Amino acid sequence: MFLAGLLLRTLVMASGRSGQNRAKNLRRSCVRVLSGCLLCLAVTGCSLLSIGRTDEKSDNFKLPLLTAPRDAVQLDLVFVDRPESDLLLQGSLWKEIDEIAGMPPQTRSRLHQAGWRIGVASSRPPHALEELLELASDLPEMRDTDRRLIGRRVAIPAGTDVPIEVTELLPELRARLEADGQIKSWSDAKAVLRVRVEREQDGWVRLVCTPEIHHGRKWLRPIATEQDWQHQRTQNIEPLYELQFELSLNLGEMGVVTARNKIDQLDGAAESVGRAFFHSGEMNGKLQRLLIIRVADMRRMTQVYED
């Protein structure tokens, strides 16, 4: 606007000093200059013409979706909590689940003595397992002794692991270790099942599961990785390698991990490791937890051959 006023003032002064022909020529020149200036302002989007306008693109800005790695395996992790007296957790469920699942007899016997019960279900869930999931999914947000369900899906690159927190942080966790038969107590502890994912052949996944006890305060601690040592803020971690087990699952199959219902206890107060992981006491009674791990999807790796 300042530029237009200056041009018009020059035009008036010129018309007073010269003749009409010269004034006409000058008017034409001013009009051409003024039109060019307005065109430049419109093309470049000068702030003089955009006062009060907002950038619509900035309002609709969204972060791009994260994509899973090429060799990632997607697992469905589901917790089902039921009263430990539920008949479905006993004979009905385990009649339709393979408890052998390619596990060595020594490992299966050791886990059985430690109070664990592990099996593999097909991609078509047994009737008892379907019924458990339906019972738990009616009121998934309610924290009562009748219906509880917690689930999530994770994408894990092959060759890495994921810690599954089986229990919340407890003031005290007690368990009888099979290594020495002694009762041990941890303060500010939680039970964690660390699952390492390994691809076998097309459509098959091997899960290496290691029970761990995380306890104590969180400090910056050195953690060993495949490349080097890294410092992470974690609790003390006590792996129970004597109870490590493996599951080989096909796409859609499910691994079921829980505790035995009837376990011998020492002095009426000791608990086995399986019971410490998968049993909890609440105001209305005892709850037993099932962990269901399902292979939901596998990103295929296309092999390239050279002549």
Residue-wise pLDDT for 84-100, tens only, equals 888 888 777 888 888 88
Q: Tell me whether residue 156 is in a domain.
A: yes
Return the percentage of the chain with pLDDT > 70, whole number: 63
Same domain for 241 and 144? yes
Please report which residue ranges of the chain form alpha helices under DSSP H: 2-17, 20-44, 56-59, 91-94, 105-113, 127-137, 273-278
Q: Residue range 138-154: average pLDDT?
A: 59
Same domain, 32 and 155: no
Amino acid sitting at position 31: V
In a domain, 111, yes or no: yes
Pair 222, 134 in one domain: yes
Averaged confidence pLDDT in the chain: 75
Q: Tell me, yes or no, whether 38 and 90 share the same domain.
A: no
CA distance 137 to 81: 11
Domain encompassing residue 239: 72-298
Number of domains in the chain: 2
Does the structure show a pLDDT above 80 at 54? Answer: no
Same domain, 11 and 113: no
CA 77 distance to own-chain centroid? 9
Q: Which two tokens stand for residue 82?
A: 């039921």
The enclosing H or E element of 190 equals strand 183-199
pTM of the model: 0.69
Phi–psi pair at 207, nearest 5 degrees: -105, 120
Shared domain check, 116 and 21: no
CB 115 within 8 A of CB 272: yes
- Residue among 249, 261, 251 nearest 290 (CA): 261
| Within-domain flag for 63 | no
- The answer to whether residues 19 and 151 belong to one domain is no
